[in-house]
Amino acid sequence: MHTSYSALDTYKTCPLKYKYQEIEKRKTPKRVEQVFGTVVHSALKYMFLRDPLYPAPDEVIDFYTRKWKESAEKIEWKDIERKEAQEKMYFEEGIRILENFYKKNSPWNFNAVELESRFQINLKDEESGTTHTLAGIIDRIDKDAAGDVYEIIDYKTGKKMPSQEMLEDDLQLGLYSLALKDRWPTIASERIQTSLYFLKHNEKISAVHSDKKLERAKERILTIIKEIEKRTANGLFEPTPGPLCSWCGFRPICPMWSHEYKNKEERQAPDEAEVGQAIAEFFEIKQTEETNKKRLGVLRNVILSYMENTGVARVFGGSGYITKSVGERFAWEMDRIKPILERLGKWAGILEPNSKKLEELLPTLPDKDREEILTAREKRSVVTLKQTKKK
């Protein structure tokens, strides 16, 4: 597989987004956050270019201003009415970041060895014998005055800063360290410092990855790649709803959100009217679930049938939305299990055929008997619907 940390990070965030972006190569509109990050990164690269002198602060701001004007035209704004105000806010935030950064990091005080350095590293899976290629870009590589330490610096335009412990286990920085060691094998791990520079805070946090942690990073990368290969083979890339959905360009086609994006004409279709009514009634009856359990089952079937027919995993109505998830449960063949447990004197421990008690009992049994019992269970898919009220 030929991939990148960015692609692996997308997969960890949402397997379905990975499929849309990396496998199907679907394009999404340019969002202001993406454009802002790209333009600020390009200005920081320009700041450390000596040709033959380093640019002055006003030259960096001029460079940023030109790049922003060129790039802002490509942004697709979610709220057209607030476009002008938001564009002004992001532009001024970029100027603030660059001015503060320059004051604290005058470029002549650093020995930047490489800027936006591209790398490609091969990782071999010893179990399968397969070699995978990871490519990426390192924002900046510095070398200290004594020539003893190399520092990998990655700029971040987000607000959230990780803890020191999280930083030392950061997969991205681990990969960057592996890439640097692959390029320059004679450099010991303790001579490579990795840093995240949080531009909004004008703060840098750093860590050094030991050989043990680098090996762990390699194993984690290979584990993610194996998961992706397995999903590619079976085609199962489920959506993973979360806080980052608000910034995802695939929402209109995602089964967790696509129902919300249907226009009024589509919602007037008979099946849409029926499911809309079913959703509204579902929320109302849920309040008295015991007395209305039978009706809820009917509504559930209407909604579930609609989801299966249209391929969506979340439907929206006036009261909120309902999400479908598929899990697994085991059904036990108690007639086969009973003789084994009776022979072991354990049948009375579960009193009567009871899956929960049986699962609690399993870890206490001898390996051979436990394995024999496990052959008497059947995996079944269980579909659940979870309702969420609108705020």
Domain boundaries, the chain: 26-233, 334-375
Q: For residue 344, give both structure tokens.
A: 């072991």
| pLDDT above 70 as % of the chain | 92
CATH architecture of 26-233: Alpha-Beta Complex (3.90)
| pLDDT above 90 as % of the chain | 50
The span from the CA of 17 to the CA of 114, in Å, is: 32
Q: Which among 242, 150, 144 is positioned nearest to 191, based on CA atoms? A: 150
Sign of the torsion angle spanned by Cα atoms 64, 69, 70, 73: positive
Contact 64, 101 (CB under 8 A): no
pTM over 0.75: no
**DSSP annotation of 236:** -
Chain segment 60-83, per-residue pLDDT in tens: 999 999 999 999 888 887 777 788
The span from the CA of 301 to the CA of 187, in Å, is: 62
Residue 367: partners with Cβ closer than 8 Å, 6 or more residues away: none
The span from the CA of 386 to the CA of 260, in Å, is: 16
pLDDT at residue 271 is higher than 80: no
Report the run of H or E that residue 223 belongs to, with start and end.
helix 211-234
Distance of CA 328 to the CA centre of its chain: 23
Contact 48, 112 (CB under 8 A): yes
Q: Which residue has the higher pLDDT, 18 or 331?
A: 18
192-198/203-208 β-pairing: antiparallel
pLDDT at residue 34 is higher than 80: yes
Distance of CA 136 to the CA centre of its chain: 17
Q: Residue 115's beta-bridge partner residues? A: 140
Chain segment 341-368, per-residue pLDDT in tens: 888 777 766 655 567 677 777 777 777 7
pLDDT at residue 58 is higher than 80: yes
How many CB atoms neighbour CB 128 within 10 A? 11
**DSSP annotation of 169:** T
The span from the CA of 306 to the CA of 315, in Å, is: 9
Position 112 confidence tier, pLDDT thresholds 50, 70, 90: very high
Position 120 confidence tier, pLDDT thresholds 50, 70, 90: very high
Mean pLDDT score, 174-200: 93
pLDDT at residue 24 is higher than 90: yes
Q: For residue 117, give both structure tokens.
A: 């350095």
CA atoms within 13 A on the CB side of 376: 19
pLDDT at residue 267 is higher than 60: no
The beta strand positions in the chain, using DSSP E, are 2-4, 112-124, 131-143, 150-156, 192-198, 203-208, 314-317, 320-332, 377-389
Q: For residue 168, give both structure tokens.
A: 């030392």
